Amino acid sequence: MATDDLQFDRAESTAPDQSALDCVVCKRPVTGAYYTAVSTVGVGTTFDLFFPLAAGEVAEPTELAEAFPAGAGQHVLIVDDESAIVRVTSRMLERLGYRVSAFCEGPAAIAAIEAAPDEFHLVISDLTMPETTGLDLAERVRRVRPTIPIVLTSGYADFGGDSRIALVDQVLSKPFKSSTLAQTVHRLMTPADLSTMAG
């Protein structure tokens, strides 16, 4: 069973002298709400919950725009060997208005960007993957697109003194907040990317 399938399993006490503890509590469903969850073994899990705006006092639109700046169709390449992280990250970026090409294997991601290097506006890669590490990928990407922004995600801060970390524009520590990713992606997009896609 996949890890994300267990996120909302009922957790109940089986001791005969205790009442069952049910950790799944929902008073009523909320239409239009959704969540994102990013887990890293040994590090932790970050849940971000999103609810539709209700009547009455609500957050100022400017505050929401600052926390989750929207894209305008820019193409983001994502690669991570954990499929759950790929799904969650892709879904969030798509809801913000980005186009996403997602991969679970480094070689496939490299092949995609080498085949059409001008098609992408930003790359997000995990650091530790089989076959190809995030730094391997960054090195290959820089050969065909020297100026494309590259974001590296990792549950560990140790890069082993690898000088190729200089090829990366931003490192995000897992688990990261959805707002952090949204702000990072928007900030690293060049003004030309933003104005061209918006026009």
- Assign 3-class secondary structure to the chain: CCHHHHCCCCCCCCCCCCCCCCCCCCCCCCCCCEEEEEEECCCEEEEEEECCCCCCCCCCHHHHHHHCCCCCCCEEEEECCCHHHHHHHHHHHHHCCCEEEEECCHHHHHHHHHHCHHHCCEEEEECCCCCCCHHHHHHHHHHHCCCCCEEEEECCCCCCCCHHHHHCCEEEECCCCHHHHHHHHHHHCCHHHHHHHHC
pLDDT tens-digit series, residues 109-136: 999 999 999 999 999 999 999 989 999 9
- Give the mean model confidence (pLDDT) for residues 68-86: 94
Average pLDDT score over the chain: 79
Q: Is the pTM of this model over 0.75?
A: no
Of 14 and 162, more confident:
162
Domain boundaries, the chain: 69-198
CATH topology of domain 69-198: Rossmann fold (3.40.50)
pLDDT for residue 186 is more than 60: yes
Of 38 and 114, more confident:
114
